[in-house]
Structure 1
Amino acid sequence: MNFLKNILSSCLGTIVAIFVVVGIFSVIGSMAMMSSDDKASTGILRIRLDEYIPELTDNIETQAFTLESTPKNLGLQRVKDLIEYAKTDDKIKAMALEVSNPANGGATLLDVLASINSFKESGKPVVSYIESSSQNGYMINSAADHVIINPNGEIAMRGYGVMIPFVKDAAQKLGVDFKIFYAGNFKSATEPLRRTDMSPENKTQTREFLNENLSILKRVLADNRKLNSIAIDKIMNELSGRSAKHAKEAGLVDAIGYRDEYFDYLSQKTGFEADDLPFVDLGDYDDKVTLSKKGSFSNKVAVVYLEGDVMDGTKQKGVISDAKYLNIFQKIRNDDKIKAVVLRVNSGGGSAYSSDLIWHEIELIKKAGKPVVASFGDYAASGGYYLACGADQIFAQPNTLTGSIGVFSILLKTKELMNEKLGIQFDTVKTHDNTVFLSSNYDLSSKEEQYMTEMTQDVYNQFIGKVAKGRKLPVSEVEGIAQGRVWTGNKALQIGLVDSLGNLQDAIVSAAKMADVEDYRISEYPYIKKEFWQELLEGFAAAEDAESRITAWLKVNAPGTTSTLKALKTITTCNGVQAKLPFILTE
């Protein structure tokens, strides 16, 4: 009995101690928050874009738990709303752009850039300071009225490129083989596992996408810096951004100066003291600014954010899955106050199974008489396009990556690794011919290979049929533009995969118009609720994961490798038929 009492006392003491510690951190956090609020009341809005901008605030996969403060991941629409609010906020006197290497793709950055240009219409000064800037970072920085670069600064104006690691030979040396089945000549997501170089088809589609990004960058710099196409090509070929001196000579910046000189310039423009400039970062501004929702409660437009990989079964943040989204769409369908639906898609695809289930739920919403409009972000490719292809209207950005109408299946085979490298043998007893054909330790028979080929082709044909139905195109025409080929938003508009170029707000306006409602309120899904204990436990679990620790180290010490490793992991551990984007963009 005393033993049980001691156990209960210890547990109670531990729980109380945890609450005390949490309470202390909460008090400290609230004190810091009050301090930041006071400073955020007036000053210079600073844009850095260091953190990834999800479509919906904090809709990102759970990270390893740490006692260090983690920044809020503001959603794209929230970022745009804050910048727009600052335009007329008398307490915000100027904007400072200090963008180094933004984590998002070009479509997201174009949306942010449009908001910055809107802010400039207020007449408030916009100043940029560059210490080190990527190409996409410079695209944002170039919007400033005055661009200053550190004497030791650089701008990585090198052009766009894609670098793909191929692991086929390495896998063979380890005794690992990949049995790959794919539909679509351009469906190149599995090329790193089955080739040692890029196929001609993949090079063609990749070059088109890179050229589209380059064209957009040139248009932006022509507007912001008055640089023509020939001058920009020369800058890239001669690496004119490699030093502050060369950057100024090439017209990329207006002045060279240390940070204190940058502060002096801001002081002159705003009247604030140079040694105590009241910078207001977006996160602090978000804490200060409350934007009330407007519109009728009886007329709602549901905005459903579908971002991340398409997966089966999971309910975690930052991914798309049947387990999470089917219930959301069912609630939307049965809610009489919701008159229209907007799908905000930012996904390179994944599970064909979940993509199809979500597509079906969207069809049911349409049958219920509610118009559905899709808005594409950086990506809406393969499974990301599949789930949205039935929308009544589709918007994309010029540099959105979309299409990739194709699928693949992968079976990992480790017989040689087990038998010859490790000396592990397998034997089996089975009741039927195909009982163990999915096992990694047995070779496929010709009959089993035929089955896998047919299964993959069936899913591909289903994909094409649904695109043809949704886009009101002949199947033969869809087959011609499918084949797993990736298209830019501009090109997708020309071939009928999207209807218009525009952003999320354009899609919302269109959906409301189709539903014939003028006074309406926006409802956002999924609802991101921060449960402390859930976050704590998930974070500790992630911290115990060796992969999480390695990934965290790579993010700091070799940032260019993390996206590559994630992509390889995705295609080598996937289950079932996949509809997945084929490559990674680098600068």
Structure 2
Amino acid sequence: MRLLALLLLPSLALAQTSSIVQAPLPSRGLTLPPTGAALVDEATALSLNPAGLGFVRAGQLFYLHERNLEQDSTADGVFLGAKLLGLGLGASMEWMRPRHGPDYRRTSLGLSLGAPTLQLGASWHAFGSDDEDVDSLDTFDVGLTARPARYLSLAAVAKNLNAPEEGAFKIERAYDFGLGLRPLGERFTLGVDWLFSEGAFRQGQATYTLQAEVIPGLRLGGGVSHGFVDAVPLALQLAVTVDTGHFGLTYAAGGGENGTNHVAQVRLSTENYRSLRPPGGVVTMLDLNDVLAGGGSPLLSLLGVSEADPFLRLSRWLDLAAKDERLSGVVLKMEGLPGVDWGKAEELRQAVLRLRASGKRVMAVLLSVDDLGYFVASAAERVYALPESSLHVNGLAATLQTYGGTMQKLGVTWDVARVGKYKTAPEQLTLTEPSEASREVVNAYLDNEVAWYERAVTQARNVPVEKLRELQAAGLPTPQLALKLGFLDGLILPSELDGKVRELVPGGRFSATYAPRDEREGRWGTRRRVAVVPVLGTIAGGKSREDPLGFSRIAGAETVVRALEAAKSDPSVVAIVLRVDSGGGEVLASYLMYQAVLDAAKVKPVIASMGDAAASGGYYAAMGATEVLALPTTITGSIGVFYFKPALEGLLGEKLGVSQETLSRSPMADVFGIWKAWTPEQQAAVQQWVDTSYDMFITEVAKVRKKDKAEVDAVARGRVWSGNDALARGLVDRLGGLQEAVESARRHAGVPASEELDLVLMGEARGFFSSLGGEPGVQAALALLPAPAEPFPSALRELARQAGVDLEMLRPGMKAMMPFTLTVR
């Protein structure tokens, strides 16, 4: 009796069946629960279509047991699948014990390679048995799976390519063509297969599969198969699968003319499957200090291996978490916000509000916060502190420092060429006290900051502003005073935190390892993408880079231009978000970024998203975007340029006894020398240079902002504005953060709100000794400006930054930088 006749003909079984001639030996192996050649994408794909191994994302182990009571036949099998170096790998061993015919073992190896939407796979199957003829058999399969769209999967498999024949046994070559459809999304999958032996197309078998996810973690499957000739009987199979994250159990039963077949399948995986939801959902803790600190290896950063910007990564986490059905609550652990100023704080606050609007319960636990931290925490539904928590909620202040007196004592003078009284950057080193222009700008910004802060906090806590001012007047308010004034919902001990979480989310299950979109999606095709191109830190030539300790960050023109070119030419990218968090830098590097933005915007929408600052050169880079968004507290504008240099003759010559003599053949040959001060002729020449650069700057602003040049000049001349003021003066299009910029990119690209988009970071900073590699386009080649040397040690740069001085000002070259390092705390 042929073993082929023993098949119950479930959908996959038929899709795996090969005709056996002259002897009872199948090549199909175990019966699998209902699936098809175009549907299978787990380790068990090795048995059906090896191309499916390419869709395995992590380690998987499947154990299957098959039993047919009527025929007294059993089988067991173990399947392994993994992803390594971009290849899908599989291995399996199956033990077949048929009632009629020899017992045998089938050992299989397979691999698959390709792109996310197209995989090509191959497998080898070796048979082992006490029967010498069976023991000498092996077969080869090749398969192809294409998933060009979310709703469509296509497959073609050639099985038993070598058509082996040993003694009385012969296994014929066979073919399987599969079609998968998802007309209603991932919850329902339809499959159709046509399997036939070589030369017997019309005598093939048709199989139909339905897979349905009833609720997360519970899947049902069904299959039916038949032929169009009498030799192929009708068969049915039904299956149910229960999934938890890393464990799954399936039972399938089916029947045909040869009785009922039972299949039990157990899955273990490192990949997290959609699982049964706990009644109250999942609650997780988000440690903002830990997440924003990054935690990367300084050595790896030095070598050029780095992760995405921590704030961009956190923003993506919060966006995905708001859409995750599993998540019911978030506990914010507040203990510092490294790298965050008021612009990014507003983005975090809005992200917390979006979490709440999506139905998540949010609780903040304050360990140590200042006004900035409390500003973010106040967006939570409930705010708690420990009895000994540190609340540095004492009001906002901005500090201006000048070092002109120090320069006088050192005997150093400075030559300055600038445009506008508000381009006051050189004044830090030339004046003994801040100018009235500096005080005017900083006071205006501080007033805006305080008003925004007070309004947000008092509305969130539903308290009058006088209460907030009373809290701040305490200097270092105690948690008890904050509770009394209405800025806390209670004081808790660490041991009481679990109880507060249970109050917040009754029945919720706490998970310390939760991550949004960490479940196996099983999604076909690929999502279209929005590219995020960062301009973070001081703008300069060369590549974007950051030092291993995080003291310095450079936004390199070469990196930004290359990233914009790549995003512009990538067909999967529908729009670009230029994320700017920079106080400016070199004029030429800023101009090259601006031109690259203009070129990209001719092909795809480019939305500029401004973070804490997008001033001077940072504004230059952003202003050419299709739409420009700023946050209410973003430091923006500062449209202007300057050049300055020291004259060290007084220090080195008069005080230290150094002698220097310059022999020149031109009155301008020593214009950039740092020994003597400029002559009147040199001063006039450099001022003309600066004036010309400034004129080009405001000309470009007028062109892209569609304003009169005189109108731009009136709000330029180095003046720093808040996001609110910049909007009122037409320097930006509207208020919003990174998330609003992504949604704007979607709208401008004409992508429906129902379509999911992926964010991809292009052009992130690397270590100082890294290289991006690849061949740049012409514009990127132009941006290969020499990267400035690093004359200042990292620790000195950080010390200077804390003192309010940006040492990047001291590099040679024309600068478009903020007039001061402004920190409001």
- Supply the distance in 1 between the matched residues of 2:624 and 2:288 (Cα, whole angstroms): 34
The farther-off stretch of 90-99 and 342-351 is: 90-99
Matched, 1:417 2:651: yes
Q: State the 1:528 CA deviation.
A: 4.5
- Give percent identity, aligned residues only: 24
The aligned counterpart of 1:180 is: 416
The farther-off stretch of 140-149 and 491-500 is: 140-149
- Supply the distance in 2 between the matched residues of 1:66 and 1:298 (Cα, whole angstroms): 30
CA contact (8 A) 1:98 1:141 kept: no
661, 675, 681: which one aligns with 1:441: 675
- Structure with bigger helix share is 1
Give the partner amino acid of 2:616.
S
Q: Counterparts of 1:272-421 in structure 2 under 5 Å? A: 280=512, 285-286=514-515, 289=518, 301-317=530-546, 318-335=553-570, 338-366=573-601, 368-421=602-655
User: Structure 1 pair 478/148, CA: closer, same or farther in 2 (3 Å)?
Assistant: same
- Supply the distance in 2 between the matched residues of 1:365 and 1:432 (Cα, whole angstroms): 43
Give the partner amino acid of 1:496.
G
Q: State the 1:109 CA deviation.
A: 1.7
Matched, 1:584 2:822: yes
User: Structure 1 pair 532/491, CA: closer, same or farther in 2 (3 Å)?
Assistant: closer
Structure 1 length-normalised TM: 0.78
Matched, 1:498 2:498: no
User: Structure 1 pair 481/146, CA: closer, same or farther in 2 (3 Å)?
Assistant: same
The aligned counterpart of 2:285 is: 46
Give the partner amino acid of 2:612.
D
Aligned with 2:334: secondary structure? Answer: coil
- Structure with bigger strand share is 2
The farther-off stretch of 92-101 and 136-145 is: 92-101
- Supply the distance in 2 between the matched residues of 1:371 and 1:125 (Cα, whole angstroms): 35
- Supply the distance in 1 between the matched residues of 2:503 and 2:526 (Cα, whole angstroms): 47
734, 738, 741: which one aligns with 1:507: 741
Give the partner amino acid of 1:171.
M
The aligned counterpart of 2:402 is: 166
Aligned with 1:452: secondary structure? Answer: helix
Q: State the 1:415 CA deviation.
A: 1.0
Q: State the 1:193 CA deviation.
A: 0.9
The aligned counterpart of 2:445 is: 209
Residue by residue, what CA displacement relative to the aligned partner does 1:172-226 show, whole Å, maximum 9, x if unpaired? 2122222122212111222211212222222222122222222222222223211
User: Structure 1 pair 192/51, CA: closer, same or farther in 2 (3 Å)?
Assistant: farther
Q: State the 1:377 CA deviation.
A: 1.5
385, 388, 392: which one aligns with 1:149: 385
Ranked by relative contact order (alpha carbons within 8 Å, sequence separation 6 or more), the top structure is 1
556, 561, 573: which one aligns with 2:811: 573
CA contact (8 A) 2:417 2:644 kept: yes
Aligned with 1:206: secondary structure? Answer: helix
Matched, 1:199 2:435: yes
- Supply the distance in 1 between the matched residues of 2:717 and 2:692 (Cα, whole angstroms): 14
Q: State the 1:435 CA deviation.
A: 1.9
Which entry has the higher C-alpha Rg, 1 or 2? 2
CA contact (8 A) 2:364 2:380 kept: yes
User: Structure 1 pair 546/329, CA: closer, same or farther in 2 (3 Å)?
Assistant: closer
- Supply the distance in 1 between the matched residues of 2:438 and 2:464 (Cα, whole angstroms): 30
The aligned counterpart of 1:457 is: 691
Q: State the 1:521 CA deviation.
A: 4.7
User: Structure 1 pair 44/190, CA: closer, same or farther in 2 (3 Å)?
Assistant: farther
CA contact (8 A) 1:301 1:342 kept: yes
CA contact (8 A) 2:288 2:332 kept: no
487, 491, 497: which one aligns with 2:721: 487
Aligned with 1:50: secondary structure? Answer: helix
User: Structure 1 pair 290/213, CA: closer, same or farther in 2 (3 Å)?
Assistant: farther
Q: State the 1:531 CA deviation.
A: 9.2
- Supply the distance in 1 between the matched residues of 2:345 and 2:808 (Cα, whole angstroms): 26
Structure 2: segments with no counterpart, 5+ residues: 1-268, 547-552, 772-789
Residue by residue, what CA displacement relative to the aligned partner does 1:514-537 show, whole Å, maximum 9, x if unpaired? 3444468556342449899959xx
Q: State the 1:228 CA deviation.
A: 2.0
- Supply the distance in 2 between the matched residues of 1:430 and 1:570 (Cα, whole angstroms): 29
CA contact (8 A) 1:304 1:525 kept: yes
The farther-off stretch of 86-95 and 349-358 is: 86-95
Give the partner amino acid of 1:222.
T
CA contact (8 A) 1:53 1:73 kept: no
- Supply the distance in 2 between the matched residues of 1:293 and 1:252 (Cα, whole angstroms): 45
The aligned counterpart of 1:8 is: none
- Supply the distance in 1 between the matched residues of 2:324 and 2:528 (Cα, whole angstroms): 29
- Supply the distance in 2 between the matched residues of 1:411 and 1:584 (Cα, whole angstroms): 22
Q: State the 1:105 CA deviation.
A: 1.5
User: Structure 1 pair 550/463, CA: closer, same or farther in 2 (3 Å)?
Assistant: closer
The aligned counterpart of 2:794 is: 548
Aligned with 2:613: secondary structure? Answer: strand
The aligned counterpart of 1:115 is: 351
Aligned with 1:197: secondary structure? Answer: coil
The aligned counterpart of 1:467 is: 701
Q: State the 1:403 CA deviation.
A: 0.6
User: Structure 1 pair 341/118, CA: closer, same or farther in 2 (3 Å)?
Assistant: closer
Aligned length: 522
Give the partner amino acid of 1:94.
G
- Supply the distance in 2 between the matched residues of 1:547 and 1:165 (Cα, whole angstroms): 22
Give the partner amino acid of 1:193.
L
The aligned counterpart of 1:563 is: 801
- Supply the distance in 2 between the matched residues of 1:480 and 1:546 (Cα, whole angstroms): 37
Aligned with 1:464: secondary structure? Answer: helix
Aligned with 1:173: secondary structure? Answer: helix
Matched, 1:244 2:479: yes
Structure 2 length-normalised TM: 0.57
Give the partner amino acid of 1:457.
D
Residue by residue, what CA displacement relative to the aligned partner does 1:305-326 show, whole Å, maximum 9, x if unpaired? 2221111224425432222222
218, 230, 237: which one aligns with 2:466: 230
User: Structure 1 pair 118/335, CA: closer, same or farther in 2 (3 Å)?
Assistant: closer
The aligned counterpart of 1:82 is: 317
The aligned counterpart of 1:20 is: none
- Supply the distance in 1 between the matched residues of 2:390 and 2:308 (Cα, whole angstroms): 27
User: Structure 1 pair 370/84, CA: closer, same or farther in 2 (3 Å)?
Assistant: closer
User: Structure 1 pair 80/534, CA: closer, same or farther in 2 (3 Å)?
Assistant: closer
Q: State the 1:138 CA deviation.
A: 0.8
Aligned with 2:376: secondary structure? Answer: helix
Q: State the 1:113 CA deviation.
A: 1.6
User: Structure 1 pair 226/528, CA: closer, same or farther in 2 (3 Å)?
Assistant: same
User: Structure 1 pair 339/457, CA: closer, same or farther in 2 (3 Å)?
Assistant: same
CA contact (8 A) 1:51 1:73 kept: no
> What is the root-mean-square deviation in Å for CA atoms of aligned residues?
3.9
- Supply the distance in 1 between the matched residues of 2:518 and 2:352 (Cα, whole angstroms): 18
Aligned with 2:624: secondary structure? Answer: coil
Aligned with 2:658: secondary structure? Answer: coil
- Supply the distance in 2 between the matched residues of 1:230 and 1:181 (Cα, whole angstroms): 46
Q: Counterparts of 1:13-92 in structure 2 under 5 Å? A: 44-50=283-289, 53=292, 63=298, 75-87=310-322, 89=324, 92=327
The aligned counterpart of 1:16 is: none
Q: Counterparts of 1:3-18 in structure 2 under 5 Å? A: none
User: Structure 1 pair 470/93, CA: closer, same or farther in 2 (3 Å)?
Assistant: closer
Q: State the 1:299 CA deviation.
A: 6.1
- Supply the distance in 2 between the matched residues of 1:577 and 1:88 (Cα, whole angstroms): 43
Q: State the 1:100 CA deviation.
A: 2.6
